[in-house]
Structure 1
Amino acid sequence: MISLSLFAAFALMTAIAAFAVLWPLSRTRAAQAAREADLAVYRDQLAEIARDAKSGRLPKAEAEAARIEVARRMLAADSARETASTEDPARITRQTTWRRRMAAVFALLFVPVFAVGLYGMLGSPRLPGAPLAERLTAAPDRGDVAILVRRVEEHLQKTPNDGAGYEILAPVYLRMGRPEDAARAYAEAIRILGPSALRHSSRGEALVIASDGLVTADAARAFADALALDPNEPRSAYFLGLAAEQDGRAADAARIWGQLLARTPADAPYRPVVAAALARVGGAAPAAPAAGVPGQPGPGAADVAAAAALSSDERNAMVRGMVDRLAQRLDSAPDDIEGWLRLVRAYGVLGDKDKAAEALKKARATFKDNAEALGRLDAAEKELAAKTGAGEKG
């Protein structure tokens, strides 16, 4: 019944479209009147040319050429009128009627038949319909992650206090490239199931990914909460060290990463990442614990392999890329004083004094009516000047 109604609707729309095209063809045109109108236009043109030539707006030679061209067109139109008058009107009517009928047959029959035949060859007419509601209730394919996620989301709408559902959904969001949704899911899991070092750390990592690698204040608080529950949680320690580096506190970053490296087993897969980070801020690597000592979960193996394979220049380029993304974000959303302070410090770490000064200028223009923000910017400028002066003396 549904398919029959759909077919009838398509047939009706096709008929309406064909009728819209054929309707102008069914209207008779008065050829004689049209030719008379053309001749009237040509007469007006001759009169206008005569007026322009008399007033001097049109040179004599150009006026004569224009008169000749209009006269030629008048003769051609008059000749066509005489030819039409000698033809058999009944024969002309029959020819016109035949052409219109052929056009109607083509539009109403050939086009739909051709479309149906083409669909039968290239389409899948035997494939049953798959509305969204039926796909959600049917058993999904193993690779149809979007359907599975949609089902879990619908389940959580009905039972919003299912913490296990949020905890299952959060890492899936992360793999799907939806870090903001992952962070919200981890927050719901913490609210319902209670805090844990792993949940806080996972939420912080999702926030870092959502901010293009920058450790925001919210992410730093999540990592601090994780370490308060488990002081040996390695992922949180690593990202807090990264936050210190991004803030321009290289000594703090070296201390955090040095302590983390000291308790990281020699065979831990994330040890190369921590060692590379410590070397980047000029810290000395401590001796590694014995191999085989149980370690805490850290960054994924793919992240470790990618970071370990980077050269020093590539790592610097990666850091500059993160700083550039922060600058772009602040251009579109400038009301973020923490972001501006982080950008200024990052430029200071990279040695880009001109960019740091430009960032300070933009930030001051944004917060010109905010005394507290201007004071923090002044302090950041003094800190930058002090570090720059110390570096030049050294």
Structure 2
Amino acid sequence: MTELWLGAGLLLVAALGFVLIPILRGHRQQREEDRTALNVALYQERVAELSGQAEAGLLDAEQLQRGRAEAARELLADTESAEPGAPRKLGVALPVALAVALPLAAMGLYLHFGAVEQIRLTQEFARPPASLAEMTTRLERAVEAQPDSAESLYFLGRAYMAEQRPAEAAAVYARAVALAGRQPDVLGQWAQALYFANDKHWTAQIQALTAEALQGDPNEVTSLGLLGIAAFEGQRYQEAIGYWQRLLAQLPAEDASRAALQGGIDRAAEKLRTAGGAPATQLRLKVRVELAAALKDKVRADDTVFVFARATSGPGAPLAAKRLTVAQLPVEVELTDADAMLAPMKLSRAGQVKLVARISRSGQPMQGEWIGQSAPMASDTQATAHLIIDSPDS
């Protein structure tokens, strides 16, 4: 705030300068006018004196004319440097009062309607918070100052979850979705907040949110983790293993959460063995995806590539999907039940499938610019399938 007030003070000085400088110049101009009036009065006295001397017979007509001419030259010499000025209608008091009042009025309006709170918040966020509670308070103030900022709402929701306030987090995420659109990561966070706010009871709304998030991004991590938790709590241990293995495959090797996630997978596998079963051997469909040479100059490295399998008969929704980028091509991937976008629709339950690789600049899995497709094949095919993206996506 010091910088703000310093800037305001400099502006006030500048404003005073614009008003006071003409006033000071006016005083100098007035002095010039007074001196000119005095010179004129002296000239008139000199002319009157010469006329009196002529009448007394002391000067003849020629001497009178020369005397008047000399007096006129002296008057011109004294007044030729004087600057003409406009008549002054205002005194000094009113301009000075206006020069002070206007900047102060502008500052008052700025304090009332301006962005002082945002400046304070920016300065606060430049300093690390002393605690999670302080960070949450800052984010609450940021949301209050900018209620239409989806980013502030998102981070406030994360802070509420860290403080175990899921109901408040769910309300904040709902606002963020309304502002920024139905982005997969925000949908996943919203579903997670609702799950814990409802005492870990799965609802139709949570199911719809996770399904929508995974349809937009098959690798959306919050939804995968949440579905794994819900499956474990529901004693659907094989499903939990599938979701968590899918999530584990995305985490960097140095990620600290890998150990906890692997521990959850191990506990689910132990539950299966205790119940007399064993973790099922997953069906793995191997796919190699390449980009046709003719398209290399027509795509960008960061364009999204969706690789998915869908049943040749029945619903057209993908049974399993992975999300990549053009920069990763050519690449070999595996599609399994762990890559299912919807729990009831699994790769292992389909007899025949069709493989599709689609480049989507918008990041939408069901629409894009270029596509490659395979002929129908058995879902348990062992050989690696080859997909070449080479055709316009109609």
TM-score when scaled to structure 2?
A: 0.32
Structure with greater helix percent: 1
Pair member with larger Rg: 2
- Bigger strand fraction: 2
Q: Which has the higher contact order (CA 8 A, sep 6+)?
A: 2
**TM-score normalized with structure 1 length:** 0.32
